[in-house]
Structures are given as C-alpha cells and as structure tokens.
C-alpha cells in the first residue's frame, strides 16, 4: 500500500507540473501573437498626433523654431499695404532704431500715438512700449486695429501761445529741482498722468506729441520738460530722449534748455537725440552739464 501511495503522489505532481507548463506555453504564445499584429491606422494616427503635440506648431520634426509674434506680423502687413507716410523720415527713424537695437527689450515711453506706433512697438519686441495720447477717439481707432498696443489717454492744460511765459517760469529754481514730477512745484511738470507714467524706469523716451503746429494747440513744452525730469529722477543709469520737429521754435528752444545742449548726442533732420544721466545717483550734479568752453 505504501508503494502505491507514493506512486500516486508522484503522478499527481507530474500532472500538475505539466499543466502549469502547458498554461505558460499558451500564455506566452498569445502574447507574441498580440505583439506581432500589424499596427492599425488608428494607432498610427494617435502616434502622429502625439509627435505633433511634442514639437512647436508649424516646425519641422528635426528642428525647433519660434513663431513670429502677432504684433510684428500685424505691423509688417500694415506697412506693406499702407499708403500713409510715417511722421519721421528713414534717417530720423534710424537714429532711434540704433539705440533700440542696443537696449531692447526695454521700457520705451512715446508721447503720441500715430501711424508709426506699430513700428516702435515691434522694434522694442519683448519690452514695454507705452503711448501717451491726447485724442481719445484716435486711441480707439488705432487700438481697435492694433489691440496689442498700450496707450493712455491724457489731457494737457498748456497752449503754444503761452510758450514764452512758460519758458520764463522754467528758468526758476523750482524747475531746476530734480524730483518726482508729481511732487514738483514747477508749472511745466505733468502731474496728473497715470501712476505707471511716473513709477516706471524709462530707458527711452520719444517726444512726438502733443499737437504743436498752431497757437491754440497744447504744444510740447511740458512733455519735453517732464521727459527730462523723469530721466534725471531715475535711481541710476541713463535715459535716451528723442524730440521730433525741432525745426519749430517750441521744440527747438525747450529741448535745448531743459534737455540741455551738453546732453545732446545727435541731430538728424528734425530729430534730436539726448542722453541724460540719473541725477539721483550723483549728488550735486548740475541741471545741465557745465560748458567747459564758456568757463574759459
């Protein structure tokens, strides 16, 4: 009986092992058949879609590229299809462009919203370009066409016919004091503009507005003076200031007096370029640099 029992146990063990072995053979065979099936069109489509999502839109598979920003493409289309001539000539624009090529992306303040505004914003791509404009209706027209432009509506309380009086006031000690324009006692300082106007460290300032070609127009007396004050009152560094239409008496006299001939770097056509250093970074700096020739 004992021998028969052992024989029975051995048969059971052998049967169990064979069953497990057969099960494993069938399992692996099915796995191989499944993995060797042809790839369906659905799988190919899913794989292709995943690859397209992993690469920049519109770029070849083997290389990376950067999509042109909408603001730049809008500007290109605008100037390619427009018959309107920008306010400045090619040579005048080139003066500011050379500075922007070095400093951009930067903070760029522009007095005036015009046909050349998309160009200025594009040349300062990646930076901040803020336009200050007196005509609210014009802001709506331009920003509707170019929604990426940032523009503030402001009001001026000066007139060209009062420019001589304002020049005399500008020579007072109050107007030679360097401070935040909001705290200035000088009547030429612009005090009621948006907070950003005063609190941003501007690297470039372009004065090409407000209107100044007739006696009742606001003129650029305060814009020029305040541009110089913003430049002097920054904590450190320097600001490049550009004034357009210096063929007119107001732009000529006020830029020479309040931006200073000693800070002027270049004049090309009707455009002047000044580089004004911070006066807060060095105490005791005179409002305008001392003319060495005059001292002699």
pLDDT in tens, 184-213: 999 999 999 999 999 999 999 999 999 999
* Segments making up each domain of the chain, as ranges: 89-277
pLDDT tens for each residue of 217-229 = 999 999 999 999 9
The residues near 93 (Cβ < 8 Å, ≥ 6 apart) are 86, 116, 119
Query: Residue 263 half-sphere exposure, CB side, CA atoms within 13 Å?
Result: 27
Rounded CA separation 131/114 (Å): 9
pLDDT tens for each residue of 134-183 = 999 999 999 999 999 999 999 999 999 999 999 999 999 999 999 999 99
| Residues in the chain, overall count | 296
Instruction: Please tell me the predicted confidence (pLDDT) of residue 69.
Output: 73
Where b means 16+ CB within 10 Å and e means fewer, 25-39 reads eeeeeeeeeeeeeee
Please name which of 175, 124, 121 lies closest in space to residue 149, comparing C-alpha atoms.
121
Q: Tokens for 283? A: 């105490």
Instruction: Please tell me the predicted confidence (pLDDT) of residue 87.
Output: 79
Through-space distance between the first and last CA atoms of the chain, rounded to whole angstroms: 136
Question: What percent of the chain shows pLDDT beyond 70?
Answer: 73
Query: Which fold, 89-277?
Result: Rossmann fold (3.40.50)
Q: Tokens for 197? A: 């106007």
Helix 163-170 / helix 221-233 crossing angle, nearest 10 deg: 20
Which residues are paired to 110 by β-bridges?
131, 206
Rounded CA separation 222/166 (Å): 9
pTM of the model: 0.75
> Confidence band (pLDDT; 50, 70, 90) for 35?
very low
Which residues are paired to 280 by β-bridges?
none
């Amino acid at each position: 009986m004992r021998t028969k029992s052992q024989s029975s146990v051995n048969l059971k063990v052998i049967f169990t092992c064979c069953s497990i072995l057969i099960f494993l053979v069938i399992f692996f065979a099915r796995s191989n058949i499944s993995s060797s099936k042809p790839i369906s069109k659905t799988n190919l489509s899913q794989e292709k879609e995943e690859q397209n999502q992993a690469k920049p839109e519109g770029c070849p598979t083997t290389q990376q590229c950067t999509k042109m920003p909408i603001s730049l493409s809008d500007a290109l289309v605008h100037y390619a299809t427009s018959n309107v001539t920008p306010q400045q000539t090619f040579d005048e624009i080139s003066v500011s462009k050379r500075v922007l090529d070095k400093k951009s992306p930067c903070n760029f303040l522009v007095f005036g919203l015009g046909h050349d505004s998309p160009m200025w914003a594009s040349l300062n791509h990646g930076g901040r370009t803020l336009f200050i404009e007196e005509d609210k209706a014009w802001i709506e027209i331009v920003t509707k066409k170019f929604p990426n432009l940032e523009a503030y509506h402001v009001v001026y309380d000066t007139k060209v016919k009062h420019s001589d009086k304002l020049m005399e006031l500008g020579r007072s000690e109050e107007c030679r004091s360097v401070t935040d324009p909001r705290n200035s006692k000088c009547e030429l300082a612009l005090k009621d503009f948006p907070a950003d106007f005063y609190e941003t460290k501007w690297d470039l300032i372009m004065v090409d507005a407000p209107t100044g070609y007739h006696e009742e127009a606001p003129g650029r007396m305060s814009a020029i003076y305040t541009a110089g004050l913003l430049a002097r009152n920054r904590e450190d560094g320097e600001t490049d200031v550009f004034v357009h239409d210096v063929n007119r008496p107001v732009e000529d006299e006020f830029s020479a007096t309040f931006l200073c001939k000693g800070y002027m770097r270049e004049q090309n056509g009707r455009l002047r370029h000044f580089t004004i250093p911070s006066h807060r970074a060095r105490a005791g700096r005179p409002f305008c640099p001392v003319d060495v020739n005059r001292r002699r």
